[in-house]
Structure 1
Amino acid sequence: MPSSSTSAPTQQRPKNWLRVLLAAALVIVWIGVAGTGGPYFGKISEVSTNSSTDFLPASSDSTKVAQQITDFYDSDSAPAIILFESDQKLSKEQNAYLQSLPEKFKDAGVAFDQASPVIPSEDGKAAQIVIPLSDPEALADNVETIRSEIENAPEGLEGYVTGPAGFASDLTQAFAGIDGILLLVALAVVFVILLIVYRSPILPLIVLMSSMVALSGAIFVVWHMADAGWVKINGQVQGILLILVVGAATDYALLYVARYREALIAHQNRFAATKAAWRGSIEPIAASGGTVIAGLLCLLFSELASNKALGPVAATGIVLAMLASLTFLPAALALCGRAVFWPARPRFDCHAVEHGVEHDSKLWTKIADFVAAKPRPIWIVCFVGLAIFVVVSTGFKAEGVRQSDLVLGGSQASTGQEVLAEHFPGGSGTPANVILPAADEAKAVDAIEQLAGVSSVAVVSQDSPSGTIPVGESAKNVPPMIANAQPTESNGRILMQVTLSDPADSQAATDTVVQMREKLKSVSPDALVGGDTASDHDTIVSAQRDRAVIIPIVLVVITLILMLLLRSIVAPILLVVITLMSYLATLGIATLVFDHLFKFPGADPSVPLYGFVFLVALGIDYTIFLMTRVREESLKIGTRPGMRRGLIATGGVITSAGIVLAATFAALAVIPLMFMVQLAFIVAFGVLLDATLVRAFFVPALVEDIGRKVWWPSRLSKEERVSPNEFDRPEVR
């Protein structure tokens, strides 16, 4: 006996050293991943674009026009409208200043094609110059240079830079905080929450390290995906990736840490506890992560490249979050042992199994007892409460918003657009571009001029000093040197520029473009209508189509995954219906908040789609955390007591995970864009609703009320309790 007692530690020591080396190796590998991927944080903007036409389907008129327009211009430039306004008619000195501006811009290093002449307004109190900026990579810098130059305008002149280049620059500036501010805010918020949850200064740092190594790996992979042309990313995809990886990795960490803490109480050896925690965590983390990935990949059915890109980009982030949570985090915690929970270190308790989870969670024991006492009234109240806001959600407006409303708090481009509409036709400088056969020119001009929303029509000509030749009614009183110029032709086609009476981003301008397309079908079937207004319209149409197609696909995919995971038909259908109700109720709350509190004019069609994908996928995430534990307990002690014990065991971690994920998505609101703020509210509020009311009361109460029939048609639905021996049989599992 003495010899055997002394030999056991001797045999155990090499195993522990091997485990330490393995854990240390995993940590070092992930630190290497972070070191490799970290520098790509600052480079991700190199492979992203915010041009709307880059994301439209190739079959749309706007895309075809954008691709063919270079046949008529030497470069694909973005027009910047330099607008000046005065209280009185412009003086000779002021006009002389305006004439000198193009040369001043060149001297300042602004790259542009031939500038238009100074165009005065009819009232003489305003003038505009159109500067076609020729370097897309430096567009924002060039706009800022122009804005700096016109700050020195003579007294009495107020200058603005608007038009496509102005709006693009404002959008770029709004996204400028994604790489730094957004990430710092998200990490700071998560750290504070974890500090409160764990009451430990060490554990939150390790959890955040797990998130950061996952994010570094994801950024590295996504950069190369975008650089190879596999996906097209923009600022909003980039921002969502940052938030999603941090939030998901933290959620998975919360689940693992909860299991690890339980295991440290039941096991004296930290590596035995790690093994038990890993075994208990891998199924729910892999299942929940796999479900989110499957839901995100449904976005590949999108027409819009931005929606389509979000699928593989976000799925890549989830894969890295899962890998880090199942390798780096367990290894780091195993190396630290109980010390990581300091000062509230979990103590080994040989009677932990007898005590059960109730011993360690008095709050959730009370909640579980409350739900078990009156399950039917509880789920009925939850159902009615959600149903009220589901009805309100029918008023959610998601038909698109004006470009001038995208940047919250206003911008110089949007202000300039308003001033422009006061003195010129609203669409000045941002025309609708029409490519059509040269033989159809006369018929097309007649058809277009019949539209009330059209101000003027011109044909692009490289021979004309102004770059265009006015046609139709606009051709009256045109100087001979312009009238005698020849239209530029390419393969028998010409490019017409149609100036609209209304601002290019207005609904009235959109209606005019739609009518123009209808008119041209009969007189020139091969005509293509593009431009900024047409691109915005085509984007909205594609986004609405994506929403109608993808939402049903996601629901079917997630339902099938839950059926396989829970070995049931009834439970998955009920859970998906509840999750859908939670999402629609969130939209109902958002409708009231956006309309009456924030006074938003509407929403982009992609907002409810993104909100749906994240809320349903992540809501099912929490469902999997809860129901896999419930099934595990039900196989041992029966459905109703299994539901109670599962709720007690997972209630704290699900609520904590919900708060963390809500906080990370709320950080999107630091980007001053309506899309980001709306998505931040919908996902943050929806996650909180799902992680508290739905998972703590609605789902447990409904399962308590239905009982074992919730597992139909599996064997568990026919037996109130399964013995341990039966539990080992594969068909019961």
Structure 2
Amino acid sequence: MTASRPTARTAATTIATRLAALPCGRRGKWVVLAVWLILLVATGPLAGKLMGAEDNQASSWLPGNAESTKVLNEQRAFQPIETAQAVVVYDRPGGLTPADRAQGARDAVTFATAPHVLGPVVGPVVSGDGQAMQTIVPIDVGTNGWNDLRPAVDSLRATAAADSHGMTTHVTGPAGVGADQAKAFAGIDSSLLAATVSVVIILLLLTYRSPVLWTLPLISAAGALVVSEAVIYLLAKHAGLTVNAQSAGILVVLVLGAGTDYALLLTARYREELRRHEDRHEAMAFALHRAGPAILASSATVVASMLCLLIAEMNSTRGLGPVCAIGVLVALTAMLTLLPALLVIMGRWVFWPVRPAYGTAEPTKTGRWAHIGAWIARRPRKVWVGTALALAACCAGLVSLNANGLGTAASFTGTPDSVVGQQVLEQHFPGGTGSPLTVISTAADAGAVRAAAQSTPGVAGTSVPVTHAGQALFQATLTDPPDSQAAKDTVDRVRTAVHAVPGADAKVGGNTAVILDAGRAAGNDNRAIIPLVLGVVLVILALLLRAVTAPLVLIATVVLSYAAALGISVLFFEHVFGFQGEDNAFPLFVFVFLVALGIDYNIFLMTRVREESAHRGTRQGAVAGLAATGGVITSAGLILASTFAVLGTLPVVGLAEIGFAVALGVLIDTLVVRSVLVTALTVDLGRHIWWPSPLSRPADVRQMEPSGHA
């Protein structure tokens, strides 16, 4: 029996190597290339349609079961076409003249003919101080969400400004804000793609120092992006998958960033094997066999983490999960099939000017990371304790974390017209003007419900109820700005008051209610999803490393890295960028991306350390693993961090914050946690880090057992 185990293991290894050789065989490489070319020709036109399939209506972002979402759905019975109010504001500090008021009246007539305007135009209404007036224009949101708001709002702004005669004019309200958001997201896919590709090209050139090699990972990643966008388009069109501008933008960054990471790891291992094998097909087969499990485990952590988002209450968060999971799966497929085929087809010369000749020494064994590993090995406990304390100190910034949502003004990196208009509106009218609450109840109880809302502190006034099919709808104007905490508190008071009317089945929605419900749903998502992601990743690591101690150590280091990145980011947001808080989903999105992607580098390192430990022992294996993977993991981290940093160029604070924090966290993971903290912990713990696998036992005990157990 003892002799059969090595034979069985050798047979399994041979089978695995043969399977790995399929995409890079002498004939297989051409089959793979042909399949991908056919796939790209078929999916290219579909990928270009993804932007048209985006759903940017409010319901695609909001929590599905929230009271404000139910109001959005039920109010369609009163007006089948969803509308958003644009508020045109005129302002003259010295007081409006009769000519100004006449001009406002003429503009109101013209507004009714603007694109997508639907329903009666209300106003102009002059403020109590006589210095401003407002006109409310309902705009058809249509099936394209905020994209239909832009032409209407642009027309309103042009009309109001044309004959203002010294008055300042602005368009604000939900429609004005939505139009400015649409403008901020306009071209997000193309601009992100161009910026991300530029960053990847530069960093690949610096990494490979080859005029040709960089093109192969980029071609493979670009192919993966095209196919994934086509698949997502088909699912959005025919299977009900929700895609919005946010998820489509993150998809570009994730596929190019993660795909390039996988490419770097495989290419580095292929270069090693080329020095050991004369036949490049054989070298690639061994590279796939040895690097494949780490790449598969890495992608599995990302996919599993993304799919955890499916339990989210927020529709925008829930929709992001499958979109990103599909992108990573397609990127994985491309890097394990298309890239190996391209590398083998091109031959060794693609590495020019530093070609890995057969029989030459592997330079990583004596490189910079080998020296760093040796330095860590001399004093591992001091290194990991000092590093952990430094990271813990960085967490101090968390006391300033204010992830309670971003108001209208705080959601843009600049100051668009709708923000200025809202500020002018608040100076001359009740703060909630232009963004009233919407209350729906039974028609029979509408009077009692309206009276309850009217008497609630924080409500400036209510409209006359409109009835339809046994239901009634009216609006309540708040005294405070619609995105303020005072306005949110008023929503709770109004809900308490109207819910107390017996049999009225009253519901309260509107812009402020949406903000309130979204914040609470995001908090619930944080509490539910973060522990789930940790548990899923822990299981994957345990299966991959066949240990318990190592996965727990790795999870602890990644969580510490996440907290440090968040702490530093919050300080930068507050004191450098001047951001006024963080988006509700910020902690969750950063956590999911950092844990899923940050654990990648630990997987790349520890799978190699485990491989080396079986021959050298854990302490020497840790140093050897760091020497072998240090350069490629650092390059991968720089590329991934740079791709996420591209999000910071967008004029949307929420995405800019996510991009900055993820980029910073990836750098911390790559340069500090993986290279210093994890290596030092592994050296200090020694064989015990592999408990309870056979590698955790003393070497003499293992040598008495049949080989292959480790």
Task: Give me the TM-score of the superposition, normalised by structure 1.
Answer: 0.90
Match for residue 313 of structure 1 among 316, 323, 327: 323
Measured in 2, the distance between the counterparts of 1:520 and 1:324 equals 56
1:343 counterpart letter in structure 2: P
Aligned residue in 1 for 2:373: 368
Match for residue 246 of structure 1 among 231, 253, 256: 256
Measured in 2, the distance between the counterparts of 1:335 and 1:263 equals 16
Aligned residue in 1 for 2:43: 37
Aligned residue in 2 for 1:503: 481
> Do structure 1's residue 535 and structure 2's residue 509 form an aligned pair?
no
The C-alpha deviation readout for 1:494-518, integer Å capped at 9, x for no partner, is: 1110011112122221111111111
Match for residue 608 of structure 1 among 577, 583, 587: 587
Aligned residues: 685
Partners of 1:42 and 1:179 within 8 A in 2: no
The Cα of 1:357 is off from its aligned counterpart by: 5.9
Q: Matched residue of 1:131: which SS?
A: strand
Partners of 2:64 and 2:315 within 8 A in 1: no
Q: Matched residue of 1:550: which SS?
A: helix
Match for residue 651 of structure 1 among 626, 630, 635: 630
Match for residue 128 of structure 1 among 122, 134, 150: 134
Q: Matched residue of 1:523: which SS?
A: coil
Match for residue 657 of structure 2 among 678, 686, 694: 678
Q: Matched residue of 2:414: which SS?
A: coil
Q: Matched residue of 1:680: which SS?
A: helix
1:686 counterpart letter in structure 2: G
Aligned residue in 1 for 2:335: 325
Q: Matched residue of 1:267: which SS?
A: coil
Match for residue 515 of structure 1 among 493, 496, 505: 493
- Aligned positions of 1:72-87 closer than 5 A: 72-87=78-93
Which range moved further: 660-669 or 93-102?
93-102
1:167 counterpart letter in structure 2: V
The C-alpha deviation readout for 1:255-281, integer Å capped at 9, x for no partner, is: 011011111111122111111111122
Aligned residue in 2 for 1:464: none
Aligned residue in 2 for 1:276: 286
Measured in 2, the distance between the counterparts of 1:18 and 1:422 equals 69
> Do structure 1's residue 148 and structure 2's residue 158 form an aligned pair?
yes
Q: Matched residue of 1:289: which SS?
A: helix
Q: Matched residue of 1:697: which SS?
A: helix
Aligned residue in 1 for 2:436: 431
Aligned residue in 2 for 1:492: 470
The C-alpha deviation readout for 1:564-586, integer Å capped at 9, x for no partner, is: 11111111111101110110111
Q: Matched residue of 1:128: which SS?
A: strand
Aligned residue in 1 for 2:420: 415
Measured in 2, the distance between the counterparts of 1:204 and 1:661 equals 15
Partners of 1:376 and 1:701 within 8 A in 2: yes
Aligned residue in 2 for 1:576: 555
Q: Matched residue of 1:64: which SS?
A: helix
Over 3 Å counting, the alpha-carbon distance change for 1:323 and 1:727 in structure 2 is farther
2:267 counterpart letter in structure 1: V
2:495 counterpart letter in structure 1: R
Aligned residue in 2 for 1:632: 611
Over 3 Å counting, the alpha-carbon distance change for 1:643 and 1:505 in structure 2 is same
Aligned residue in 2 for 1:562: 541
Measured in 2, the distance between the counterparts of 1:597 and 1:421 equals 28
Aligned residue in 2 for 1:166: 176
User: Root-mean-square deviation (CA), in Å?
Assistant: 2.1
The Cα of 1:229 is off from its aligned counterpart by: 4.7
The Cα of 1:356 is off from its aligned counterpart by: 5.6
The C-alpha deviation readout for 1:663-704, integer Å capped at 9, x for no partner, is: 000001121111011001110000000011111110010110
Aligned residue in 2 for 1:101: 107
Partners of 2:275 and 2:362 within 8 A in 1: no
Q: Matched residue of 1:233: which SS?
A: coil
Partners of 1:33 and 1:216 within 8 A in 2: no
Aligned residue in 2 for 1:398: 403
Aligned residue in 2 for 1:116: 122
The Cα of 1:57 is off from its aligned counterpart by: 3.2
List gaps (5 residues or longer) in structure 2.
1-20
The Cα of 1:358 is off from its aligned counterpart by: 4.6
Aligned residue in 1 for 2:207: 197
The C-alpha deviation readout for 1:123-147, integer Å capped at 9, x for no partner, is: 2221111111124332222212222
> Do structure 1's residue 544 and structure 2's residue 550 form an aligned pair?
no
Measured in 2, the distance between the counterparts of 1:209 and 1:572 equals 34
The Cα of 1:721 is off from its aligned counterpart by: 7.1
Measured in 2, the distance between the counterparts of 1:168 and 1:253 equals 39
Task: Give me the TM-score of the superposition, normalised by structure 2.
Answer: 0.93
The C-alpha deviation readout for 1:198-257, integer Å capped at 9, x for no partner, is: 001111111111110001111011112222353222211111111000000000000011
Partners of 1:636 and 1:721 within 8 A in 2: no
Partners of 2:60 and 2:244 within 8 A in 1: no
Measured in 2, the distance between the counterparts of 1:456 and 1:552 equals 44
Measured in 2, the distance between the counterparts of 1:121 and 1:418 equals 14
List gaps (5 residues or longer) in structure 1.
1-14, 461-487
The Cα of 1:342 is off from its aligned counterpart by: 1.4
Measured in 2, the distance between the counterparts of 1:16 and 1:66 equals 54
Measured in 2, the distance between the counterparts of 1:314 and 1:725 equals 47
Over 3 Å counting, the alpha-carbon distance change for 1:76 and 1:109 in structure 2 is closer
Measured in 1, the distance between the counterparts of 2:109 and 2:24 equals 72
Measured in 1, the distance between the counterparts of 2:402 and 2:24 equals 60
Q: Matched residue of 1:215: which SS?
A: helix
The Cα of 1:491 is off from its aligned counterpart by: 3.5
Which range moved further: 716-725 or 621-630?
716-725
1:311 counterpart letter in structure 2: G
Partners of 1:53 and 1:535 within 8 A in 2: no
The C-alpha deviation readout for 1:601-641, integer Å capped at 9, x for no partner, is: 11112111000001011111111101111111111221111
2:520 counterpart letter in structure 1: V
- Aligned positions of 1:204-215 closer than 5 A: 204-215=214-225
The Cα of 1:17 is off from its aligned counterpart by: 14
Aligned residue in 2 for 1:668: 647
Over 3 Å counting, the alpha-carbon distance change for 1:340 and 1:187 in structure 2 is same
2:484 counterpart letter in structure 1: S
- Aligned positions of 1:171-186 closer than 5 A: 171-186=181-196
Identity over the aligned pairs, expressed in percent? 40
Aligned residue in 1 for 2:4: none
The Cα of 1:16 is off from its aligned counterpart by: 13
Measured in 1, the distance between the counterparts of 2:375 and 2:114 equals 72
Measured in 2, the distance between the counterparts of 1:636 and 1:722 equals 14
Measured in 2, the distance between the counterparts of 1:653 and 1:296 equals 25
Measured in 2, the distance between the counterparts of 1:41 and 1:705 equals 50
Aligned residue in 2 for 1:526: 505
Match for residue 594 of structure 1 among 556, 567, 573: 573
